[in-house]
Copies of this chain bind each other. A is one copy, B any other.
Amino acid sequence: MGERATIGDVAARAGVGVGTVSRVLNDSRNVSEDTRERVLRVIRDLDYRPNRRARALSTGRTQSIAVIAPFATEPSVVERLRGISHELHGSDHDLTLLDVATPDQRDQQYRAVAAGDRFDGLLAISLAPTDDEAEQLARAGLSTVLLDCEHPDLPRVVIDDVRGGMLATRHLLQLGHRRIAFMGDVADRGFRFSASARRREGCELALRAYGLALEEPYVRVGPHGRAVAHRLTDELLALPEPPSAIVTASDTRALGVIEAASSAGVRVPQELSVVGFDDLDVAAYVGLTTVRQPLRTSGGIAARLLLERIGRLVGDPVEKMLELELVPRRTTAAVGV
């Protein structure tokens, strides 16, 4: 139980008061060069490191930021976390991961964070706060940045999901497709995801420009995941007039679509075109046509934004909009017949 040195030990050994040691540690100025050096030497000799808990209690700052994320479901989240983690390195801030697997947990985590004594800042990925939650966070004085979700009062890093849906759909329209289906998230299972609904809007807008509508049987929604997408694809393929192309709200779903097509003996892209969303690593590998968004970068940008804001209570809720790009690969082709 290594008996760690405390600030008192350092002070005693250096022949000064603890206040002076603290000043050397923080203030910098208002300490004579002599004293500073003596204290620093003792600190080194004793291998003294300030206790963060004590400091936190005293200053009200924790040096720790929370990330709320639907971790278990989306590989894209992992990319974002990488960007965040990278940016936090060397910033002297911990990253505490608050994993969310159910709507209940989502609510719980928001409440726990807003309780307000554990973190300096919050980064929420994909899980938009309610008005109520946003207010709680503000009241707790907790700097917050949203990533891949929105709230009018909070700074955020986002993409134009509507445009993303349009990009995917337009690509298919230009290839001659007319029977285009959309596969995405259920409206709202309590997570308050919004990206999928927006992408669907974009899909509808693009179709409308061609005088087409997104008919009900061509819209399939369900929880995220390859297996679900597989099942939904089976449904689409069983339709009297199956679609010739499917726009999906994520690469993971697109993989499920391809899998289902393959089991059903439907050739991609000859008989069915598929567009994903995200451009995960696996997309390049599989040759998936997709809408690329800068996942890792988005995490870095959000983290930097948060670090800038921590402490300062300024806060016009800026919005950083990241670029999208359609990446055509081998899962889309001109319409067959």
Q: Which A residues lie at the B interface, using CB under 8 A?
A: 1-2, 4, 49, 51-54, 56-57, 62, 64, 71-72, 75, 78, 81-82, 85-86, 89, 94-99, 101, 105, 115-118, 136, 139-141, 226, 255, 259, 281-282, 285-286
Contacts and interface: CB of A to CB of B under 8 A. Distances in A.
Contacts of A52: 117-118
A62 B72 contact: no
A99 B85 contact: yes
Contacts of A116: 2, 4
Contacts of A95: 96-97, 99
Contacts of A98: 94
Taken together, the copies of this chain in the complex come to: 2
Given A86-B101, A97-B97, 15 more contacts: A1-B139, A4-B117, A4-B140, A49-B115, A51-B57, A51-B117, A52-B117, A72-B86, A89-B99, A89-B105, A94-B98, A96-B97, A255-B285, A282-B282, A282-B285
A62 B62 CA distance: 12
A281 B64 contact: no
Contacts of A281: 226
A82 B71 contact: yes
26 contacts: A2-B136, A2-B139, A2-B140, A4-B115, A4-B116, A4-B117, A4-B140, A51-B57, A51-B117, A52-B117, A53-B57, A53-B62, A54-B57, A64-B96, A71-B81, A71-B85, A72-B82, A72-B86, A86-B101, A94-B118, A95-B99, A96-B96, A96-B97, A97-B97, A282-B282, A285-B286
A63 to B, nearest CB: 9
Contacts of A282: 282, 285
A2 B115 CA distance: 10
A86 B259 CA distance: 28
Contacts of A82: 71-72
A56 B62 CA distance: 12
Contacts of A117: 4, 49, 51-53
Closest 7 CB pairs of A and B: A2-B139, A85-B99, A1-B141, A51-B117, A53-B56, A53-B57, A49-B115
A337 to B, nearest CB: 29
A89 B285 CA distance: 34
Nearest to A95: B97
Nearest to A2: B139
A158 to B, nearest CB: 24
A92 to B, nearest CB: 10
Contacts of A57: 51, 53-54, 57
Contacts of A259: 285
A101 B118 CA distance: 26
Nearest to A62: B53
Contacts of A286: 285
Given A51-B117, A53-B53, A97 B85 contact: yes
